[in-house]
Every structure is written in C-alpha cells, then in structure tokens.
A and B are shown apart, each in its own frame.
Chain A
Amino acid sequence: MRESPHPGLYPTKSSTSRGPLKRPDLPGERGGDFSVIGKPLARVDAVAKVTGRATYADDMLLPRTLHCRILRSPHPHARIVSIDTSAARRMPGVQAVITGADLPIKFGILPVTQDERALEHEKVRYVGDPIAAVAATDEEIAAAACDAISVEYEVLDPVMSIDEALVSPKDERIQDYGGPNNIHKLVALEFGDVEGGFARAEHIREDIFFFQGNTHLPMEQHSAIATYVDGRITLWSSTQVVHYVHRALSKVLELPMHRIRVIGAAHGGGFGGKTDPFAHEIIVCKLAMVTGRPVKCTLTREEVFYAHRGRHPVLMWVRTGVTRDGRITAMHFRTALDGGAYGSYGVASTFYTGALQTVTYDIPAYRFEGCRVFTNKPPCGPKRGHGTPQPRFALELHLEKIARDISLDPVELKQRNFVKPMTRTVNWLRITSCGLDECAERVLTASGYKRREGRPGHGMGFAISSYMSGAGTAIYWNEMPHSEVQIKVDRGGVTAYCGAMDIGQGSDSVLAMIVAEELGLQPAQVRLVTADTDTTPIDLGSYSSRVTFMAGNAAIEAARKMRGLIVEAAAAKMGCDTAGVEVGGGRIGDFTFEEASVLAEARFGTLTSAGSYTPPKIAGPYKGSGVGPSPAYSYSACVVDLDADARTGLVQVNKIWIAHDVGRAINPLLVEGQIEGGVYMGLGEALMEEQAFRKGLHKWPSMLEYKSPTFLDMPEVETFIVETVDPEGPYGAKEAGQGPLLPIPPAVCSAIYDALGVWVDEVPVTPEKIVEALRRKEKGEPGRFGPTRFPTIPYPPTIRVEPPPKDLSAATATI
C-alpha cells in the first residue's frame, strides 16, 4: 500500500500497486507489414466536412427551440447586492430567466477546485462572469431581455497581476481558499542532491523569462443545445470531453447520470479550450428543464475570449549548474502562474510547469518551486502543451546562454545532455522509446544549421521538446480504464463504439483504421459511434494527447478478440487449425469477411467484443507525482530560419524544419497535419498572440485585433516523421498533437539572437521588444528585453524525494 499517485488533484486515497498489463502480444512488437496502418488515407469524416454536411452544435435546430443569451459581469471584481429580473420576465417572447439562485451548486474540472457556478449570485470575479440567463423565442429578444435585467454591484478593488496577487488585497481575496493573500497553489519539490550538484558545478547561471498568456481561438464559437423529455436531459455540445461534462451536469442539476445524455457534436476546434465543463452547457440544460423546450446557446466571439481557459502567463526563474564540458549537475526552476479568477485545471498546470524539464535532458538533481495566483481575469487552463510550452521556452534559451558562457556550441551542449531510451528521470518519470537524437540529426542535417551563413539580420535557431501521450492518471481518482471500445459485427457489418471525441485531430479515423487493420478490412467498412454517453463506453476525452495511445490500444484489444471469434468459425468450417486462417484483403481464410462473420454469428450468437486501456501505474512515491507520468513521451526537434530587421524589428520567418518522434504514424497524413498545425500555433505564440487586459477588460477580444498567423504569415514547413515504435503504444504509436508546438517559441528567439545578437526573453516577440533590446545594446547595456526580477514567494518547506534506482530494468518497471 502506498499513497495515491494523484495527491494535489483530489483527496488522497490509498491504492495498491500492481504490475504491468500482460498482453499476449504487445502492439508495438508487431512488424511493419500492415495493410491500413501507416497509409496516408483520407480521414473518415472528410466528405462530410468538405460538403458542409458535418453537423456542428450551432447547426442544430430542433422544433420549438428557444435561444439563450447570458448576462455577464461588466466588472472584474464585485459583490452582487441584488438582481432584478422582473422587467426581463415581462418581455414578450421571454420564456424563462434564471439566476445563480437556480443553479447554486458549485462545479469545476478538478475535484479539489470546485469553485465555479454556472451563474454567480454572490460575487463576480472577472469581466464576463455569468450572472443570469434568458431563454426566448429568438436571440434578439433574449439579448434585449438580458439588458433589461438590473444588477446592483458593490465594486471591489481588482487584482490584475502576479505581484498584486502576492500582497494583501485592498478589499478582499478573489477566492476564499488557498492563500496567503491571492495565492491559489504552492508547490516545492526536490529530487536528488541539488546542493551537492551546484557545489560540484564548474559554471552556474541564472535567468528570468516571461511567457505571456494567449488563447485557443477555435474557429467555432462554443455552442450547446439541450432537450428535456420524459425526465431525461440530452445535450449536444462542442466539447472535447463528453464524460466530464456529464459528471458536472449530474452534480449541478442534481440528476443521476442515467438521466443525462451528452453527445459530442461535430467539433470546430478545441486546442484545450473546450476541455472544462462550461456554464452555458449547464444553463441550456436547466432552461430546457424549466421551459420543457429545446434551448440553444452559442457564445459570441467576444464571449469566447472571456470563456478562455487558455495559456497561463508564467514568470520563470531558473538556475543551472554545469561542468566545464557542459553536463548538467543540478537545476533549480521556479514558476509563477497568473491563473485568472478560478481554479480550472490550474493545480495540474502548476505541476506541469515543473514536471517535464527532466524528460529531455538528464538532470541528476532537480528542485522545482511553483506558484499559481488568482487574478480578476478570465480563468486560465489547458492549451496545447498544457503548462509545458512556458518552461520549455525558458529551458531551451537558458541552456543556449549557458553554452555561450562556456564557449560551447549550444546544440552540442544540448545533445550531450539528451536523455536515453529506457530510463527513469530523477523525478521518477519513466522514459521508454526516445527519438531525440534522430529528431535533432534530421533537422540539423536538412536545414544546414551548422553551415549557416553569418549575414547580418539572418539567423537560425534550434530547439527540442517532449510531450506526454496521455496523462498516466485520471482527473478524478478511480481504478477504472481510461478508454474502452466495443465492437459489434452482424450480417457482415462492423460497428465500433467508443467515447472518444474527434475534435479534428482524427481520432475517429484512428479507430476505424485500427479496427479495419485487425479485421482485414478497409476503414470505410467500419461504422463508428463515438462521443455519446448513452451508447458508447467511456473514453476520458480529447485532452493531454491521450486518444490515439489509449483508445487505440483499447481498439486493438477489442478487434483482436473479434478476429479470434471469426477466425475460429472459419477454421471450423475449413476443417483446419486457426493458425491456418489468413486474415486480410477482406477475406478470412477461404471466405469473404461477410461469409465468415455469418458463420461466426451462427456459431456464437450475437458477435460483440470489448477492449479497454488502463495506463501502467508508474507515478513516483511522492505527493504531486500524478502530474507528469505518461505511458510514453513524444520527442520533437526543430530549426527556424528567419530574417530580422534591425531598424524595424520586423521578423520574417523563412522556413521551419521539424522532426517528430511519433513512435509510429498510424496515418502519416494526419500526423503531418498535427505537426504542421502545432508549428503554426507555436509560431503565433512566439510572434504575435497575446491575451492582455486593461482595467479588467480584454484589450482585443476580436479576431482582427487578437493577431494570429494568416496564410501570408506561415513559412514553408518541412516535416520529418521519426518512428521509434514504442513498446506500449498501439503499433508503437505515440502522440503528435501537442509536442511539435513546444520547440517553436525558443527556436524563434534563438534565431533572433543569431540574427541580431540580442535576446528577447519573453513571448510574444513583437518588433517593439526587438528594437528596444537593440537600443539597450547600443547604449552599452545588456542587449536583452525581458523580465528582470522574480517576486519573493512564500514557498512551503521543500518535499525531498529520493531519486529512483539507477538499474535500468528497475527504472522502467511499474512501481
């Protein structure tokens, strides 16, 4: 017995450790002889999407649908004295008005931070906090009725920065938990002998970096439509996680889960922004219950900016010791996260800012101190790379500076410290396959980085990264599988059922390809039912790059069981051993698939099979170890080539080379799409995207003013897929959706230094910051733009953790 590997995320509960899952043949061990896997096939929903037939939530309009609008706070911080809805209720066409008194139960994505209400009736904590909702016969009437609601506020002093959050508030704290002052979460962990590591270092350097917050900006605004018929709610929503919405609805509406059905509509982009349960999803259900009619709510673009849950702004301080030949001896990393007004995923985000530094570089002694504060801004949460692009930015640039200090080539220093496959990090993270060396070689060779010309204004930058293939632990403590797949075969037709939500990354295509591969069919022959809490078995959703790895393994298990049944029936008819029955090309032994499945149905009755996936129990023996472990890590390396104008500060990115170790590309077309999309988003974060506020108001809550890269801003991207065939991934596959974003911002800043000789130690790198750094350099000051101080934070006493055993087999085993 030992402590739960999930402390910090929910109340501690004991669990027994158990061994690795025993599979008759590990998926990764199968050779490369595939008929479907590895083929660049069109996605299964391609035709629906190119013809405009895919049905997104806002495309739905059920008979008698009412339209909902939400009244939101105009103040960043205020107590609600009174709410008068009488005038709104009298308006023709208004069918219902609800306030916080109608939905008083709090919810939140993490069990330890149940701090949100669908409608606030006591206090508002950011501009945009929902207060009241109207259902009316049309949207204009609903909007006018919202205007007719009168709310009396007692305005409180807002807290708008990390520094302000760390001191005593003028009026009152934003939340009534956490502390001192407006601190939400504090973490202090030490692995190995950090003091000794610094003592034996031959060079020590400290740096401070800032990563500005930014938002997902999905093309589709959040939308949800609910019905209430015969005591049962059905909700169609643009969500990444039908299961977590299901749980939140059950809690807040006080309905058992069997009376709630959540269906994922076609999804117009998430990137982490549709991973929390949202107020509008709860509100339309409540309004459907009150009115007895379908109710729909689609957020406006401005509301999407305030719904947020995007990238945390993070201030970082890092101190590292190295030997003369560049080997890291110890690292101390501090982070301060500006969390916004609510918890969201913030506790996990805080741990993530310290967890994955060790999975790319061999750090023998490591200390991490993290702090998240509440501010009166929209809540931050998970965005592509969740909590790790910020420290990756700091780490890559910090190591570059160290290399230059000791006159070593930065790439050489990084390569000397690369982790090796089949090892365990000092903070107990288990590394299995690792293609870091190959990824670096591929982009360095293709880009000609080491032979680059030194013309002024031209620069190249190199950076690496890693990301998880799904979190090894669930959001809420349980022993159940993280993903489950069922397969039904009848009269020759194959249907696969899985709770996984395709948010555009292609999870439906992955499921269809895997089932087709195992049954000797083509993906188009597999019907899919996904993301429906009534009809599909669980999948925890499209976040943390978990779906291919987890649902993929579950699909393999279910499909192999089904193949076993059909092969057995075919063998009996053929009068041979099952080993003599070949599967492939639409045939099972001497029969077509259809004939063989009819034989099997006649022999066994209804043909169903199921498979599930539970991650190995590999979290380390310490509080907070639940954040960071993953069954496998992806690896990326990139080179950015750019021109930077010393006069204007304008940056023109010419080309990006990126190599990504995806383990195995189940569909290389979709993997390339994920890599290119990640590079694009990383470039936006590096150069222009910024969620900034003035007096509590978002500075630019529109798609014109919130700058994101257009067709004209995107350079050519050359992609290399590296396949290391992970021992536990489905056919060896790992993640591709998040990792490739991470190396882009530091590689951009490294290339700018290469071009102009100045460091910009914060993103986004705007022209003003480059010009200012150059101006300082001309004046004889350090040629740098970036933060100069890290605040004093009351970190708790450090928890000291013994590093794991050095022995390889012990190091990679489950704990």
Chain B
Amino acid sequence: MTRLVYMDNHATTPVDPRVLEAMLPYFTEKFGNAASRNHAFGWEAEAAVDRAREQIAKLINAKAKEIIFTSGATESDNLALKGVVEFYKEKGNHIITVATEHKAILDTCKALERKGLVTVTYLPIDECGVVNPDDVRKAITDKTILISIMQANNEIGTIQPLHEIGKIAKEKGILFHSDATQGVGKLPVDVEAMGIDLMSFSAHKIYGPKGIGGLYVRARNPRVRLAAQMDGGGHERGMRSGTLNVTGIVGLGKACELAGELLESESERILRMRERLRQQITSALDEVYLNGHPMQRLPGNLNLSFAFVEGESLLMGLKDIAVSSGSACTSATLEPSYVLRALGVGDDLAHTSIRFGLGRFNTDEEVDYVAERVIREVTRLREMSPLYEMAKEGVDLKNFNWARD
C-alpha cells in the first residue's frame, strides 16, 4: 500500500470520474449563462440545469421545479431557517431542532436567537443519538413554525426517525426541514413519505464537486415560501439570486443519478466493509466503544472510542490514513466533540474517538490494512499511556485525585 488511504468520506468525497466527464463540456464549450434567454448558449445551459433538476428530484421523489440551487448545504440550511423565520414571522417565532445538528443549523439558530427573532428548543438525544418523536411533539407550542432535524449525523452516523417526525409536523401544520446532506444518495429519501417540506443537500458528500448544493422547497400541500437571503436578479423563483453554477449543477445532477442507480448495491457493499473493519478491530482490542446507534446508522460510518489513547496521537500514528477524531486537540476550538458530549460520552472517551468514513472507492484491501495499523498503533499508544497502566492495576480512574490547575 503506497498511496494514502482515504477513509474520511463524511468530510468530503472525491469527484466520481463519470461526474467530472459530465461537467467538462460546460466549462469551455457549452459555457452559456442559463439565464440568457435569447441565444443557443443560454438555452443549452438552461436545458442542462433542467435535466439536473429532474435527476435530483427523481432521487428524492420531488418535482423538478421544487429544487433550488445554492452554494452548498450550509447555504441551504441558512436559507431554509432564515427564509422561513422571516417569511412566517406573523405566524410564530419558535423553532424545534436537536442538539446534535450540524453547526450550519445550530449556529444559524444561535444567530437568529441573538437577533431576537426566534426562540429555539434544542432537543436531547438518547445514548445512541436518536431523537424521540414524542419529545418533538411535547416541544410544539402555538408559536412553532419550523422543525429542523437532520436525516443522518455526520459524526456518529445515527439515522433519525424522519417518517414519525414528519407525521407529527403534518398533524400540527408545522413546516418540517431536514438537513439530509449525509443521507441523500446513501439512504432512501422520499419527501412525500417522510412529510418533508424543506431539505438541504450537498454535492461534495456524494462524489460531486464542492461549492454546489440544493434546497428542496415543497410547492404543494403546503406551498412553502421563503424570504430570499441572496437578493439580485430573482433567480430560482426569487428564492436565491445569482447566476447559476451550471458546471456544478450538472455535476450535482449526475452525482444524484449515479447515487440512485447504485444506492442499494453500494450501501450493501459499504456496510459489509464497515462491519469487516469493526469486527477486525474489536476482536483484537479490548476497551473499544462504538459511538452512535449500532444498526440505525449510515452504512459507511464507524465512530469508535479507544479508551486510554488520545485521538490526535492516534491520528499521528496513522499518518498515511485519512480519518478524523472527536478529540479536542483536533478541533480549532480545543473543545471535544459536542455530538459525543450530547450522547453522554464522557470527555475522557470523547478525546479517544476516531471517525472512519467508508465510501464508494474504498476496498476490502484498504479495510484490512487500516484495521491492522489501528490495532498496532492503539497497542503501542496504550503501552505509553499512564491511564492504561493505572486501569490494568485496578485504579478507579473516575475517582482518582487528578492534579489540575
């Protein structure tokens, strides 16, 4: 194994060669502005955009015109939340969401709270990361205008019960948004069956290019309206102005088409690889803990805590393997993962967590190599760890008198 192994597919994915091939003509030959209504260059670009809308809509059981293009899931999340809050402000000002949402949701909520525009309820999750639909129901007030709950978590892979939550939202007449960035193209998504009114997604998580994403905005039952956050030429039915990123859109469309074709077979294969990785590691090492739900989980996600071994030092030892960690040392803010904290995982174990993200281009060979290296480095680091030594001697680490400043 001479190349670096990439196993961080929740962070981003490589562009599938077939996606790249679909995009290329739109850079130099068919480069028209999709809004140029008066010549063939424009019509050609517009046709490509329309095709992409169809490809995306098919993947999620929506109508083509219900797809709005944005610069990515973060912008989609911002547009959904801020757009709804602004447009429906006469109706209410309360949002319900979950403590383990992506920062694009949580930070947007905090910004809206700071401006005094909303109050937000951040629901807790159980120790597997699942939100209880009853908690959603109980949190609803007569001021609630939006429920926002992600389909699958990017850190621990846990899948939320969207069907049940969608039913509650419909019953109470509240708009239901889902950040489905990690789920679209990997799990079945059906906006009708799930009762979803708004949905964010991104190309670069599903083997498409970075810088392009979409927001599904329901057109009927009910017709969802948004206050635009990007003003200008009135593109995307007045919801998001700005010349369309045709090349990106073509890429996103193709990525969705491929994902739809491959969804079943690929998710099976990736699940098998993940279980292979998990079993090899957990059969060779003790004191390894799975973070997140064991079954209701993204097929490619494996998040493990290796007790007594700090995450960043393990990443250093696995320097030819790309994975990530929930350790404070790997975050810009030196805070351990808030997702693991919300699970009730103690900070000590949060520091020991590693997230593996398997994807389309990983192989069994890579899985075996990674398992072997992980086992070796964890063993080595445990030999160097005072905590492992103390635990083996029977010292109660929870009640030890740690000397800290």
B and A form one assembly = no
- B contact residues vs A (CB 8 Å cutoff): none
- A contact residues vs B (CB 8 Å cutoff): none
